[in-house]
Amino acid sequence: MRSGRAKKRVTETDLIHKSKVVSRMTNVLMLKGKKSLARKVLYGAIGRLAEDRREGLQMFEQAVKNVMPVQEVRSRRVGGATYQVPMPVKHERAEALALRWIVGAARSKKGKPMEEKLFEEIKNAQEGTGNAVRKRDETHKMAEANRAFAHFGRF
């Protein structure tokens, strides 16, 4: 039996950019509790986007918006069969998926420092290309292909 829902944790804003998206990205990027290293990598990548800090932050936020999915498929058991039912994605989950996909795409590249890989992936996402955007498009295609099962999501 499932117990109650987990409580949402309040994300504190980032110290330098005063942005919750940047602080969430730091947490996604962090490995083995090394938050200061994750911050250093992320700030370096955002700094490379533009000379001005505010402009770099806007470019980063635009990249995250470009990667955020609108719909996704969720498994639903109906009468012994499992259907992939397309459902709209809430803003918080869409943002979390986008951040995860950007970091995953950057980590999958080889042969460069993480700061450079992350910069390239954010730049590509901002332009509407790259692996993270491709992942979002695949998610949308899957939801579109299973649109016939959308009525299972409404009860």
81-88/71-78 β-pairing: antiparallel
112 residue type, one letter: K
pLDDT for residue 22: 95
pTM comes to: 0.90
Could you tell me the domains of the chain?
A: 20-154 (1.10.455.10)
Distance (Å, whole) CA 44 – CA 116: 8
In the chain, which residues have pLDDT < 70?
154-155
Q: How high is the pLDDT of residue 154?
A: 67
Residue 76 CB coordination number (10 Å): 15
The answer to whether the beta carbons of residues 129 and 67 sit under 8 Å apart is no
